[in-house]
Amino acid sequence: MEPLTANKTAHGRPPTISKRALLDAILYICRTGCQWRFLPKDLPAWQAVWSLFRRWRDNGRLDEIYDALHRTCRIAYGHSAEPTAGIVDSQTVKSTEKGGSAATMPARRSRASSGTWSRTRSDYLAHS
């Protein structure tokens, strides 16, 4: 991870927090779902972690780190570095053919409860 987390430019003062500690804090957030402001005290300050996360997200370095970690994990589990096939479950891709879900559609009203409904000629013929 060192080549991916190293500064590409030598401008500014040297960092006081190691990139490893900042990366550990970012991974902690991803793993636990903890809010930025509630990082444990043994990790760097949330402002520093958020700032680096935002910078890496915006310049694409976070994607590079994820891809490198993903390849490393695949190799560690005995797989090739890149996946060779993918499966798409048709049930997860299929969309509804009608309008919205039943929860968003208006409830169907009974004709019996309507004060304006009256029997038609065909209703009388069917019941006679």
- Please indicate whether residue 22 or residue 124 has the higher confidence score (pLDDT): 22
Backbone angles phi, psi at 115, to 5 degrees: -75, -15
CA distance 19 to 49: 10
Q: What is the mean pLDDT of residues 23-37?
A: 93
Copy the structure tokens of residue 11. 């401008």
> What integer pLDDT is reported at residue 84 of this predicted model?
74
pLDDT score of 3 more than 70:
no
Confidence (pTM):
0.54
Average pLDDT over residues 86-95: 68
Predicted confidence at residue 8, as pLDDT, reads: 59
Mean of the per-residue pLDDT values for the chain? 77
| pLDDT of 71 above 60 | yes
**Mean local confidence (pLDDT), 40-60:** 93
pLDDT value of residue 40:
94
Express each pLDDT in 99-118 by its tens digit: 556 556 666 665 555 555 55
